[in-house]
Every structure is written in structure tokens, then in C-alpha cells.
């Protein structure tokens, strides 16, 4: 039994050579980068050649856990790290369920995969033994059928799985990895990287155990974390409605994407919210491993053409991106489209952004019925969206263009298409339209993997919060850089654990530190946690700069900077390029970066990154 709460090993898989090797974790890597996002950031920088094609065998695909994953600490998850084929940036995508915990029960703190299998394959790991097997019987199946087939092949219905669908097999740039039912590494095209490696699936079965360094102290802090979650109103709202509870809030504040982000208010938003979902199909709560929040709401649609369809909660992001953003108000239809994305292995958020872009392109005459085989692309037309999803996943017809994402599709269409292509650094924007909340715009512009709400959500400050004892002005620019940097650093640090986004709304920073201290047997405090986040953020910035990104890429789409909100309480609001530049100047100054967004030598020295050696050595003969 391990008394440091880490397995101290990574599994390295070279698919080209059909070799699997154990790597002992360098203690400096553990000290400096902890786990999860931190491990991923450093290892990707060390192992990936500059300018590497994300779909080449050289790209690295990692499944990483944190030091609290697989323990009784509440709401801990795992992440996939790679270079994104959608954006070309660092990509980390997080998933719940039980897959990450099983990695540790197999005896590893993470899995590093490189190369490309000569034939379609799956990786089978049973405790500490790993092997690569042909996957011809699985290739071509959707994600749900693939999971059932894998379990049949290994003769165990309890194994934990990660797999791709047709979208990943066809290297759609916004394909996801399914990590069990309704739990996905969704953003950035991780599924395309897996498909490019001819890797259909990973199956895990582990029986090893973890033990914190201070068992009694750890359990005391676990109890405290549970208490804090139970006392949090925000966490209780997640338990009640999942993230679907955010629909009404976003609509009220004019943040809800509507008709490809043309507006921020949707007249039929109440048909998509938690109450509508509860009436239509929710039956019971479900939860990920060691999580008391239970934000999942599995159930069955009770009437209509999709009667009997089993669905989990339609999360806020997909309810917005495949609902209001496309003018679809029937939650049963949205649930069907989400389930279809899951089966095909498409990121529902990006799919909604791509479909919204395609519909507007059709309306503006950049696409026509000849391009869509006679299907009229219209907002509110479910069959048109259904058609697009199928075409995208199999890269057929118009789907081959849209499989590249809105950034590349807009470049190819030209004729003004880039004016309504809503993305940041190539990643389709999340469901938080920022025109009336400039700090949120700054958060999207500076997010490390492209436009992302999970790196910072300053909206919560801008609609009535305080910073340094002073009310934050919603439309003002003061403090926005400081707030975004603070949130980015804090959340990057928690993503080394690897925390669930919802747990952070209840568990205090000091409690996370005490969990770390008792689990690992070394001192932790909030100052150290924040410095860890700062280090990780700068490490990733170095990677993105090396890949050709600069200040010019820390920007927002024209829909947010040149087109004001057309109506509602915040009519006329937008984020001008002048205001964005001012916020960027402030943000860079707080970060210790120069005017071009590059970390200064003093900043790198402060964080110990100026001469950081390679911390993961690949065994000789396995490169």
C-alpha cells in the first residue's frame, strides 16, 4: 500500500512499436507540477517537437490523474492533454465518471501515448499489465456500441473505458473522447488525435489501493470538504438542476447565445431549463466517483417522437449551443441531438457552434441547397442539424468542410464568412456571450486552449461582486485583468488535483490545501497553491508561444467586437477592440508579461522556469 497517495509511475505506450513501458516519475516533476494539468503542461512541452502536426504519430496523447484522484476526496476527476488539431494550442480536456480513478487503481498516475498503430487497436490495462490488441470488431461502431463490444471482448462488464466514435476515427477536428456514459473529454479535438493514432479505445481494470500519508488527518479534512459542499447554495443548485439551472440566469443577463450569437436572449429559454428537463425526462440523480454533488439527472423521454430515449441532464453548454444558439426550443429534440453527438463522438459545444455558423452561411448565400443535398439550413430546423451532424462525423459532402471547425471553414468559404465565425484561437466559443461583461471577454481571449469559460468566469464578479472591497463595475474595465489572472491561476492549480468545476463552488481553498497536505505528507498553503497555478499558466504560455501564437491571437470574434447586442436591457453593448487592448495591457502587466504577451525573464526566474530541464525521460529504444 502506497503511503504518499501517488503511484509514482506513468505508463508509456508507443503504438508504432507496440511497446509499453513503465516510467518512474521524477520527484522534481511531482514537486514542481503536482499532477493533472501540471504534469500535462510540462510533459507536452518536453516531449513534443516544436511545430508538430497534431495528427502526426509524434503528437502525444495523455490521460492524467491528480494526487487526489481515486481517493475519498470529493469531486475529483481526470484530464486528457495533447496538442489540439482544432486550434494548434495546448489542449486539456476534463472528464468525470470512473475512468480516471481506474487509471490509478491500475497502478499509474497517468498514461502517455505516442506513435500510430499499424491497424485499428485498443489498449487493455489490467492492474499493472498493459497490452495492445486489434480492434477491427470495434472500429466503425458508435461510442455506446463500442463500450459494449469492448466489455464483451475482455469478458468483464465492470471495466472502465475511454473510446472514440466515427468522428474521431475520421479525425474530425472537434471530435471527443467518450469516458463512459455522458462523461467526455470534449473540447479541442482530443478524439481526432486518438483516431489519428488508430486507437479506438482504452479499457481498464484495477485493484490497487491508495492511502494518504496521514490517513486520520485526511479523513477529517474529507469530512470538512463534504460539510462545505452541503452548506453551499451554489452546489445545492447543481444537485437540484445540474448546470441546466444556468439557462435562466444567462438569459436574464443577456449572455445566452441565440441564433449563432446574434443575440444574448432567447424568448423560449424556459423550455430548455432544469424545470423543463425535470418534467420531460429526469428520473433520478447520478454521480461520478466519490462525488456528493450528483449533478447528473438520468431519465427517459416520456412522449413525442423520441419517447423512450435515455438521456442524462442536457448540460447548460449543450442546451445553449444545440438549443438556443440554433433556435431549437424543444428540450426533447435538443436531448436527441446531444445523444447523437455523444454516439458519433462529436463535441456538442463545437458542433452547435459549427451548425450555427453553417445556418447563417446558408442564410447569407455562402452555402446553398446544392451544398446541402437539398436540405434547407434554417434556425429551428432540427432535421437540418441532424443532417449536419451525420455529415460532419463521416466527413461527407458539406461535412468535410465543417469538420475543420468554424475558423478553417470560414477561411475556405471566404466572402465575409469570418465576420460571423464565432471562435477564439479556433475553438468554438462557449455559451457565455460576453458583450455585456467585458471581463468575460478578456477571459475568453486569453484562455490557454482557445475560448473557454472553465479557465475564468469573471461574470460572477461583474454582475454584483466585489474585488478588493470595492463593487466591480459591470461595464467598466477596472480590475478585470487582476480578476481574470487570479481565477486562471487558482483554477489551473486546482486542475492539478484534478478537481471538478462544481466542487470549487463549495470547497474552500484552505480545505483543498489541507487535503493535499494530508494526502501527500508535505506542507501546502494557499500562497503555494496560487504560485503553482501561475507556474502552470506560464509553462503553457511558453508552449503556445513556441507554436506560433502571440498577442494577435488573444482576441475576440467580430460578432463580439463589432456587432452590438441588438435589443434587451444591454442593447448596444459590445467589447470594442480599444477596450480589449486596454484590458490586455492590464492583464499582461499583472502576469509579468511584456507588451507582446511573452513572459519576461524576471517572471520566469520568479517561477523557476528560466532553465527548467526535461523532467520525463523516455526509455531508450521506446522513442
Which CATH code, of 3.90.1560.10, 1.10.599.10, 2.40.110.10, 3.20.20.140, is assigned to 438-505+525-607? 1.10.599.10
Output the nine-digit C-alpha cell for 73: 476526496
Q: Which CATH class is domain 254-428?
A: mainly alpha
Q: Is 346 helix (H, G, I), strand (E, B) or coil?
A: strand
**Residue 2 confidence (pLDDT):** 45
Percent of the chain with pLDDT over 70: 99
**Residue 5 confidence (pLDDT):** 85
| CATH code of the domain made up of 9-205 | 3.60.9.10
**Residue 180 confidence (pLDDT):** 80
- DSSP labels, 54-84: TTSTTS-EEEE--TTTTSSSSSB-EEEEEE-
In whole numbers, what is the pLDDT of the chain averaged over residues? 96
pLDDT in tens, 92-110: 999 999 999 999 999 999 9
Residue 65 has pLDDT above 60, yes or no: yes
Location of each CATH 1.10.569.10 domain in the chain: 254-428
Residue 618 has pLDDT above 90, yes or no: no
pLDDT in tens, 393-438: 999 999 999 999 999 999 999 999 999 999 999 999 999 999 999 9
pLDDT in tens, 430-474: 999 999 999 999 999 999 999 999 999 999 999 999 999 999 999
Length of the chain: 623
Mean pLDDT in residue range 149-164:
96
Distance in angstroms (rounded) separating the CA atoms of residues 563 and 481: 23
Location of each CATH 1.10.599.10 domain in the chain: 438-505+525-607
pLDDT in tens, 327-381: 999 999 999 999 999 999 999 999 999 999 999 999 999 999 999 999 999 999 9
Q: How far is CA 343 from CA 145, 184, 278, 306, in A?
A: 8, 11, 23, 15
Output the nine-digit C-alpha cell for 31: 514537486
Closest of 109, 433, 401 to residue 250, by C-alpha? 433
Q: How far is CA 622 from CA 83, 134, 331, 480, 619, in A?
A: 21, 21, 50, 47, 6
Burial of residue 52 (number of CB atoms within 10 Å: 0-12, 13-18, 19+)? middle
pLDDT in tens, 575-591: 999 999 999 999 999 99
**Residue 617 confidence (pLDDT):** 81
Sign of CA dihedral 77, 80, 84, 86: negative
Percent of the chain with pLDDT over 90: 96
Residue 1 has pLDDT above 60, yes or no: no
pLDDT in tens, 11-38: 999 999 999 999 999 999 999 999 999 9
Q: pLDDT confidence of 623, banded at 50, 70, 90? A: low
Q: pLDDT confidence of 620, banded at 50, 70, 90? A: low
Q: Is 548 helix (H, G, I), strand (E, B) or coil?
A: coil
Angle between helices 438-446 and 577-591 (to 10 degrees): 60
Amino acid at each position: 500500500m502506497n503511503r504518499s497517495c501517488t503511484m509514482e509511475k506513468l505508463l508509456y505506450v508507443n503504438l508504432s512499436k507496440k511497446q509499453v513501458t513503465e516510467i518512474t516519475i521524477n520527484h522534481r516533476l511531482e514537486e514542481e507540477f503536482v499532477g493533472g494539468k501540471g504534469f500535462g503542461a510540462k510533459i507536452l512541452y518536453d516531449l513534443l517537437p516544436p511545430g508538430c502536426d497534431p495528427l502526426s504519430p509524434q503528437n502525444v496523447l495523455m490521460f492524467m490523474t491528480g494526487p487526489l484522484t481515486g481517493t475519498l476526496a470529493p469531486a475529483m476527476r481526470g484530464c486528457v492533454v495533447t496538442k489540439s488539431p482544432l486550434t494548434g494550442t495546448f489542449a486539456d480536456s476534463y472528464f468525470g465518471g470512473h475512468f480516471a480513478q481506474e487509471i490509478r487503481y491500475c497502478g499509474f498516475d497517468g498514461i502517455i501515448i505516442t506513435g500510430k498503430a499499424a491497424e485499428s487497436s485498443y489498449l487493455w490495462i489490467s492492474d499493472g499489465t498493459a497490452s495492445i490488441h486489434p480492434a477491427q470488431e470495434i472500429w466503425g461502431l458508435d461510442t455506446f456500441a463500442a463500450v459494449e463490444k469492448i466489455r464483451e471482448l475482455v469478458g468483464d462488464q465492470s471495466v472502465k473505458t475511454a473510446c472514440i466514435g466515427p468522428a474521431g476515427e475520421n479525425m474530425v477536428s472537434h471530435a471527443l473522447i467518450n469516458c463512459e456514459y455522458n462523461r467526455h473529454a470534449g473540447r479541442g479535438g482530443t478524439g481526432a488525435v486518438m483516431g489519428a493514432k488508430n486507437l479506438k479505445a482504452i479499457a481498464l481494470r484495477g485493484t490497487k489501493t491508495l492511502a494518504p500519508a496521514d490517513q486520520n488527518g485526511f479523513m477529517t479534512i474529507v469530512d470538512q470538504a463534504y460539510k462545505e459542499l452541503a452548506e453551499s447554495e451554489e452546489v445545492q443548485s447543481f444537485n437540484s438542476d445540474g448546470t441546466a439551472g444556468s439557462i435562466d440566469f444567462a438569459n436574464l443577463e443577456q449572455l445566452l447565445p441565440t441564433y449563432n450569437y446574434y443575440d444574448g436572449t432567447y424568448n423560449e429559454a424556459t423550455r430548455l431549463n432544469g424545470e423543463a428537463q425535470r418534467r420531460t425526462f429526469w428520473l433520478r440523480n447520478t454521480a461520478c466517483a466519490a462525488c456528493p454533488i450528483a449533478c447528473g439527472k438520468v431519465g427517459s423521454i416520456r412522449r413525442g417522437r423520441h419517447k423512450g430515449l435515455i438521456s442524462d441532464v442536457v448540460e447548460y453548454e449543450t442546451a445553449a449551443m444545440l438549443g438556443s444558439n440554433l433556435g431549437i426550443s424543444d428540450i426533447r429534440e435538443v436531448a436527441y441531438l446531444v445523444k447523437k453527438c455523444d454516439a458519433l463522438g462529436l463535441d456538442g459545444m463545437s458542433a452547435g457552434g459549427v451548425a450555427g455558423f453553417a445556418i447563417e452561411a446558408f442564410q447569407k448565400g455562402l452555402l446553398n441547397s446544392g451544398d446541402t443535398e437539398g436540405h434547407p439550413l434554417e434556425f429551428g430546423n432540427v432535421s437540418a442539424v441532424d443532417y449536419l451532424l451525420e455529415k460532419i462525423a463521416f466527413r461527407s459532402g458539406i461535412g468535410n468542410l465543417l469538420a475543420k471547425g468554424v475558423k478553417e471553414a470560414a477561411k475556405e468559404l471566404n466572402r465575409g464568412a469570418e465576420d460571423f465565425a464565432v471562435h477564439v484561437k479556433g475553438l468554438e466559443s462557449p455559451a457565455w456571450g460576453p458583450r455585456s461583461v467585458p471581463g468575460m471577454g478578456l477571459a475568453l481571449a486569453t484562455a490557454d486552449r482557445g475560448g473557454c469559460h472553465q479557465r475564468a468566469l469573471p461574470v460572477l464578479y461583474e454582475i454584483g461582486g466585489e474585488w478588493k472591497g470595492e463593487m466591480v463595475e459591470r461595464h467598466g474595465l477596472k480590475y478585470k485583468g487582476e480578476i481574470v489572472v487570479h481565477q486562471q491561476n487558482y483554477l489551473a492549480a486546482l486542475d492539478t488535483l484534478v478537481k471538478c468545476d462544481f466542487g470549487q463552488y463549495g470547497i474552500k481553498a484552505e480545505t483543498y490545501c489541507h487535503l493535499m497536505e494530508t494526502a501527500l505528507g508535505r506542507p501546502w498553503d494557499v500562497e503555494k497553491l496560487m504560485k503553482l497555478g501561475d507556474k502552470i499558466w506560464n509553462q503553457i504560455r511558453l508552449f503556445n508561444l513556441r507554436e506560433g501564437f502571440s498577442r494577435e491571437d488573444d482576441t475576440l470574434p467580430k460578432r463580439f467586437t463589432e456587432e452590438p447586442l441588438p435589443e434587451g436591457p444591454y442593447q448596444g453593448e459590445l467589447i470594442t477592440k480599444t477596450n480589449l487592448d486596454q484590458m490586455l495591457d492590464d492583464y499582461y502587466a499583472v502576469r509579468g508579461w511584456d507588451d507582446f504577451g511573452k513572459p519576461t525573464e524576471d517572471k520566469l526566474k520568479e517561477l523557476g522556469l528560466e532553465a527548467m530541464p526535461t523532467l520525463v525521460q523516455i526509455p531508450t529504444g521506446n522513442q
